[in-house]
Amino acid sequence: MLSDCPGCNVQIRFPHDASIIRCPECGETFSIKGLHANPRGWRIALFGTLLTFNYYFTFPFIYSDILAFVFLSLVGTSVTLGGLMMSVNDKRRVGNGFYLLEAALAVVVAGHAYVIMSMGSIS
Ligand SMILES: [Zn+2]
């Protein structure tokens, strides 16, 4: 795995099971676990997902206004995709190549947006 040293930004290669790294360049020690725990991208993505599927909980109130929920869904889709891209970028920076969950959620919301848009073109 690869990570940037927070002290001098030199790229360091380290074993998979390491949890504390000492930078050979500047001697800075830092925790890999701390670097991995950066959920801001996922927080944005989950908020976007909530918006995307907003009609599951707003349906009883705005069922008459289909444009409103189509609009919210499309806004939610772009927020979700933006958050997922941020999460992938953060993971790439700490050398974590596991993007399966991000890819899965991106497929779900993109497929959903496609259904919503084709519904809109029918009516
Ligand atoms: Zn360093």
Residue-wise pLDDT for 91-113, tens only, equals 877 767 778 899 999 999 999 98
- How far is residue 118's CA from residue 87's CA, in Å, rounded to a whole number? 29
Distance (angstroms) between ligand 1 centre and the Cα of 62 equals 55
pTM above 0.85, yes or no: no
Q: Shortest CA distance to 78 belongs to which of 56, 105, 48, 118?
A: 48
53 CA → ligand 1 middle, Å? 44
Taking the centre of ligand 1 as the mean of its atom positions, its distance from the CA of residue 113, in whole angstroms, is 44
Ligand 1 mean position to 5 CA, how many Å? 5
What is the CA(2)–ligand 1 centre distance, in A? 13
Task: Report how far ligand 1's centroid is from the alpha carbon of 8 (Å).
Answer: 4
User: What long-range pairs does 94-102 form, CB within 8 A, spacing at least 24?
Assistant: 94/3, 94/4, 94/32, 94/35, 94/36, 94/38, 95/1, 95/2, 95/3, 96/1, 96/36, 102/45
pLDDT tens, position by position, 48-76? 999 888 776 666 565 556 777 788 889 99
